[in-house]
Structure 1
């Protein structure tokens, strides 16, 4: 359990929301996260969760955590869907999800609970976890090696840690695709990545996960990479569904992705909206045939 005084003080600070451009943002540390923390963003996270289930073939995890894990920690839990599903799948486990935003449901399985927390601060837990999980935190963290060190510290000997993350950069998926560097959607990712690098955030941690796990001292390190299409262009039924969901979650939330970062870079709202209109056209254009990459890495803490 965490100390009540620490949690209460932090919760008070985190719930001091800011409102910009008609969206609600986390008040704690303005540069902590560039995405909103409101119902629209919660809907997007639920959509992405479904997409990731398709990407993994319905697997909630790749790490071999056994049939009866006791303590599971979900970092940056978002709307809590993964934590809730894990609670249902593993009734033996006490599942704890934490996040900066208070976006989780109240009606959850009895073995699932949530807390508001900043995982980049020092962790305070009285006992370790059998399994620590995190996904989709690109652009949210400043010190990934420190996070891995804390995860290592609070994993029980023989326990597992699994992170999944992505690249923001889109690439042409096939020779027949029309995607080109410098097109509006490519410029969009360049602008967002530039802003995040400028304030010390890592927008594309996926390709670096394997190295960070090795440097931290984990063993039995595994990596799975996969391509994530954007749009309806794939012929395979499942990949088409993944690509369609991916395009929708980008298109319907372009303002949420873009307004705060480009405003911070000095863009005027009118300029941003014109730019977003061009980016949306690219997302709708199935002839671009673009994709980005995902990385899942899971590893074990040594027994000794």
Structure 2
């Protein structure tokens, strides 16, 4: 693995305050400044979900969640250096790009705008206005693929908690690449931790994330695929594999300016998404009552706004190349 930084993240002591309302206001203002609202869907616990093969995806697809997904895109691109991808592809020579699990389509549209020579096909809630070289397809990525032509680049990001069989998916990505083409996988290890002991076993935040991980695994969907991506890529036959880990602070507590901004993006998308992450899994898989979930989330929100809490989790980027004939 490359790109690992062993030194702990240095805390910005000037950010520590007794009153958490300042951070709450800061999160709201930050979220409002960078997010935008971009069929017949079922509604559960006040949230709207996909109708296509209902239950296969635990997150909602309503406007609030679309805003969070766009915010998450900003988080992930910021975390890796304000880049759309890290694989060493020659953008002048590629034509067909596949974006798996495209969400709102924000990555695909950014690629289509930046590289007009590319034509794309994507799995998935997208807006009706898109660059002319972008098109979207609704399908299940875990079903057999029927593309007649291979792709020059396949991008798979933020599929945590969505895939039943990761090795098969990575294998299909490899099979559908042109010889010598690249694929890139970006995903999370959602196990929260702190390097200074500020996230304690007694905290509601640790209880919440551990319960979330338990529910996702009970549903058969791995919530922490990031650390395993390199192994799956190697087993699928990829060569020239690179694996990088990025730490994502939760909140603007880091002293480093880049990590401070990453932390602000991160806490904003978490605060926006707590109910989306929790309701279907906690209620539908573990049998919690809705009011029990909401009561726990109230405690989590309060803790996450506490400047003395220095929680974080990891983001993994793995890219590799298909062997040339």
- Scaled by the length of structure 1, the TM-score of the pair is 0.91
Partner of 1:98: 123
CA distances 1:130-173 after superposition (whole Å, capped 9, x unpaired): 00001111001100011011101110000001000011111103
Partner of 2:270: 250
Question: C-alpha distance in 1, partners of 2:202/2:122?
Answer: 39
Answer with 292-301 or 88-97: which moved more.
Answer: 88-97
Question: C-alpha distance in 2, partners of 1:122/1:224?
Answer: 30
Number of residue-to-residue matches in the alignment: 285
Q: Equivalent of 1:111, from 129, 133, 139?
A: 133
Q: Equivalent of 1:276, from 294, 297, 312?
A: 297
Question: C-alpha distance in 2, partners of 1:85/1:269?
Answer: 37
1:295 partnered with 2:316: yes
Contact 1:18 1:27 in 2 (8 A): yes
Partner of 1:183: 203
CA distances 1:231-258 after superposition (whole Å, capped 9, x unpaired): 1201122211111111111112211111
Displacement after TM superposition at 1:97 (Å):
1.8
Question: C-alpha distance in 2, partners of 1:85/1:57?
Answer: 16
Partner of 1:217: 237
Unmatched segments (≥5 aa) in structure 2: 1-38
Query: 4+ runs of 1 displaced by more than 3 Å?
Result: 28-31
Contact 1:129 1:155 in 2 (8 A): yes
Partner of 1:266: 287
Partner of 1:123: 145
Question: C-alpha distance in 2, partners of 1:184/1:104?
Answer: 35
Partner of 1:4: none
Q: Per the alignment, in what secondary structure is the counterpart of residue 170 of structure 1?
A: strand
Unmatched segments (≥5 aa) in structure 1: 1-14
1:206 partnered with 2:216: no
Contact 2:69 2:104 in 1 (8 A): yes
Partner of 1:38: 62
Question: C-alpha distance in 2, partners of 1:242/1:82?
Answer: 18
Partner of 2:101: 76
Q: Per the alignment, in what secondary structure is the counterpart of residue 274 of structure 1?
A: helix
Q: Per the alignment, in what secondary structure is the counterpart of residue 253 of structure 1?
A: helix
**How much is the aligned-residue C-alpha RMSD, in angstroms?**
1.2
Higher relative contact order structure (alpha carbons within 8 Å, sequence separation ≥ 6): 2
Q: Equivalent of 2:44, from 12, 20, 33?
A: 20
- Scaled by the length of structure 2, the TM-score of the pair is 0.85
Question: C-alpha distance in 2, partners of 1:114/1:30?
Answer: 19
Answer with 48-57 or 202-211: which moved more.
Answer: 48-57
1:51 partnered with 2:75: yes
CA distances 1:51-70 after superposition (whole Å, capped 9, x unpaired): 11211211111111103211
Question: C-alpha distance in 1, partners of 2:173/2:114?
Answer: 23
Question: C-alpha distance in 2, partners of 1:120/1:16?
Answer: 23
Contact 2:80 2:246 in 1 (8 A): no
Q: Per the alignment, in what secondary structure is the counterpart of residue 209 of structure 2?
A: helix
Displacement after TM superposition at 1:16 (Å):
5.1
Question: C-alpha distance in 1, partners of 2:40/2:191?
Answer: 33
Contact 1:31 1:199 in 2 (8 A): no
Q: Per the alignment, in what secondary structure is the counterpart of residue 190 of structure 2?
A: coil
Partner of 1:10: none
Q: Per the alignment, in what secondary structure is the counterpart of residue 110 of structure 1?
A: coil
